[in-house]
Structure 1
Amino acid sequence: MRNDNKKSVIVGIFVLVGIIIAVVGILTLGAQQKVFVKSVGLKAVFDDVQGLQPGNNVWFSGVKIGTVTSIKFYGDSQVEIAMNVDADSKEYIRKDSKATISSDGLIGNKIIVIYGGTTQAPAIEDGDRLQAIMPLDTDNMMETLQENNQNLVSITNDLKVLTGKIANGEGIVGAVLTDSLLADNFKNTLASLERTAANSSRITQDLGNFTSSLEKEGTMLYELSHDTTIYSSLKRTASELENTSMTATAAATNFKDASEKLNSDDNAVGMLLNDEEFAEYIKATLKNAETSTALLNENLEALKYAWIMRKAHKRKAKAEAKAAEEAEKAND
């Protein structure tokens, strides 16, 4: 009897432990699958689920919020995915959020990722359908990589042929690389360019020094560029020079016209300078005037010795002598 009781107790203990383990397992699995948590049902329609299975997780902002509950065909060739998400995350997911298929790690299980959404849109409700965004297709990626690999091989072959021709001196580039004369000319050209660059640098430096001297007080350039009085004076001087030049031009024009008239016979001065007959007439007239003047002087000299003029001269001499005597007395 004791042995039977002992066996019954041991069996009861094992059964109890098994029940406890089963309950813990059920609770654990239920917690992972959000079975005992209030949830909200969402749906999304994809063209290809890429191996997604019921029970896979649903993530939002890096946090697991639910699981995929069912997968079924929809329409012609699409697949509808139903999922339950934690009701506590409901207020953070908006109706304009998007759902896509991703992987849990590099080679992990497929998962649903919910992202996006704006604050202007209302929060999700039970039964809402999210916009599905197809992820990158790995098959298409491999096809693209394969095509790029073929293109790379073709480019490598072309480059090999091109470098071979260059090494053999074919074409302009090959001639430049293999012809020593062209290489020397190229070096000389580079040297000339370097000298030109040096000269340009020196000219730029000189120009910088010149411009800096414009801002150096006490220099003529500074005074010319900053003193408004000097500028006004220079402007006035330039204006006066311009007026003087215009006056000189006018005077030269007048002088030219006058000189042209001197060479013409239709005016008095021109006739004096150019008409020989008129000149002889003038000379004769002057000669007659000179002769008449000499005769007049002789007549006046003879007139002094006439009796009437002698008497007048005597009176004049006495008056002058009397005036001299009175002046002498006045001085004494």
Structure 2
Amino acid sequence: MRNDNKKSVIVGIFVLIGIAILVAGIMTMGGQQKKFVKSISLNAVFDDVAGLQVGNNVWFSGVKIGTVRRVNFYGDSQVEIIMNVEEKVREFIRKDSKATIGSDGLIGNKIIVIYGGTTQAPSVENGDRLQAEMPLDTDRMMETLQENNLNLVTITENLKVLTSKIAEGQGIVGTVMTDSLLGENFKNTLKNLEIASVNSNKMIAEMNKFAQNLNQEGNLFNDLAKDKELYKTLQESVNELQATATNANKMTSDLSKVTEKLNEQDNTLGMMLNDPEFADRLKQTLIYADSSAMNLNKGLEALEYTWPFRRGFKRMERANEDN
């Protein structure tokens, strides 16, 4: 009888220990799955969940805040993720926050990562839908990496061919690197460039000296730049020169008009210069006038010996002698 009681006690103890372990496991799993924590429901719609399963964790700012409760098909080919999130972190998650799918380590389980959001937006409420951000596709990344590797191989082969041609002296670069005469010419060119640079520096220095001399007091350019009276006088002289030039232009215009008149035959001078017939007539008139004047002089000389005028001429001669 005692043995039976002892066995019953031992069995009871093991049963109690098993029940305690079971309760502890349930409590532990429930704590990890946030089963006994007051929570709210949030959701997001993805084109591809990349193997995300029910029970995977939900993270926010590096802290686990909930789990994936359901994975449902949505629309034609999308997937809706429904998450249980602790109610105490609701005030930190904004309505404009985003949800994306990440990994718990390099090869760990898939997780939901909630991030972003601005303080201007209100906090989320139960049943709100977050904007889904598609994660980087690992397969596409590998395809891109493979393509880049192929491109790198092609670049390496081309570089190998290029270096071979350079070593053989082909092309401009190869010729420069293998032709000693061309290399010497290149050195001379660099030397000439260096000399030209030195000369340019000297010229710049001389120009600086020239500019400094221009800025010295007593220099004409310095006086023109700083002496207001001299500037005023120079400006007046320029104005006078401008007026003189204007008058000269006007006089030239008037002379041009006079010249045009002289080239025409509707005036006396124009006729004298341009009408040959009138010029001949004028010439004959002058000849006749000269001949008349000579005849007049001869007539006056003859009057001196005529009887009526002889006494008057003698009286004039005596008056001239007295003077």
With the shorter chain as reference, the TM-score category is 0.5 to 0.7
Question: How many angstroms does 1:150 deviate by?
Answer: 0.6
5 Å matches for 1:290-301?
none
2:57 match = 57
2:154 match = 154
CA change 1:237–1:18 in 2 (3 A) is same
2:219 is the alignment partner of 1:234:
no
1:81 match = 81
Q: Distance in 1 between matches of 2:130 and 2:34?
A: 20
1:130 match = 130
One-letter amino acid matched to 2:172: I
Deviates more, 1:79-88 or 1:190-199: 190-199
Count of residue pairs the alignment pairs up = 279
5 Å matches for 1:1-332?
18-213=18-213, 220-239=220-239
Q: Distance in 1 between matches of 2:145 and 2:35?
A: 43
- SS of residue paired to 1:112: strand
Q: Distance in 2 between matches of 1:78 and 1:71?
A: 11
Question: How many angstroms does 1:153 deviate by?
Answer: 0.8
The answer as to whether partners of 1:68 and 1:82 remain within 8 angstroms in 2 is yes
Deviates more, 1:5-14 or 1:193-202: 5-14
Question: How many angstroms does 1:60 deviate by?
Answer: 1.6
- SS of residue paired to 1:81: strand
2:265 match = none
Question: How many angstroms does 1:69 deviate by?
Answer: 1.7
Q: Distance in 1 between matches of 2:318 and 2:246?
A: 59
Structure of larger gyration radius: 1
- SS of residue paired to 1:235: helix
Deviations 1:239-274, CA, capped at 9 Å, x for gaps: 556777899998xxx9xx9xxxxxxxxxxxxxxxxx
CA change 1:4–1:186 in 2 (3 A) is same
Q: Distance in 2 between matches of 1:209 and 1:5?
A: 121
Name stretches of at least 5 consecutive residues in structure 1 with no aligned partner.
258-277, 286-294, 305-332
Q: Distance in 2 between matches of 1:75 and 1:247?
A: 95
Deviates more, 1:3-12 or 1:233-242: 3-12
Please, what is the CA RMSD of the aligned residues?
A: 4.5
The answer as to whether partners of 1:102 and 1:110 remain within 8 angstroms in 2 is yes
Q: Distance in 2 between matches of 1:194 and 1:40?
A: 77
Q: Distance in 1 between matches of 2:65 and 2:98?
A: 15
- SS of residue paired to 1:128: coil
Deviates more, 1:74-83 or 1:59-68: 74-83
Q: Distance in 2 between matches of 1:49 and 1:244?
A: 94
Q: Distance in 1 between matches of 2:48 and 2:79?
A: 7
One-letter amino acid matched to 1:160: K
- SS of residue paired to 2:123: coil
Q: Distance in 2 between matches of 1:218 and 1:4?
A: 133
Q: Distance in 2 between matches of 1:199 and 1:118?
A: 63
Deviates more, 1:147-156 or 1:59-68: 59-68
Q: Distance in 2 between matches of 1:124 and 1:111?
A: 20
CA change 1:38–1:238 in 2 (3 A) is same
CA change 1:28–1:222 in 2 (3 A) is farther
CA change 1:201–1:151 in 2 (3 A) is same
One-letter amino acid matched to 1:44: A
Q: Distance in 1 between matches of 2:196 and 2:178?
A: 27
Q: Distance in 2 between matches of 1:215 and 1:26?
A: 96
Deviations 1:201-241, CA, capped at 9 Å, x for gaps: 33333334444555555655433311111212233344556
CA change 1:3–1:244 in 2 (3 A) is same
Q: Distance in 2 between matches of 1:92 and 1:40?
A: 13
Name stretches of at least 5 consecutive residues in structure 2 with no aligned partner.
260-289, 298-313
Question: How many angstroms does 1:112 deviate by?
Answer: 0.3
Deviations 1:9-66, CA, capped at 9 Å, x for gaps: 7766665555544444433332221111111112223232222222221012222211
Q: Distance in 1 between matches of 2:164 and 2:229?
A: 75
The answer as to whether partners of 1:213 and 1:222 remain within 8 angstroms in 2 is no
- SS of residue paired to 1:129: coil
Question: How many angstroms does 1:151 deviate by?
Answer: 0.9
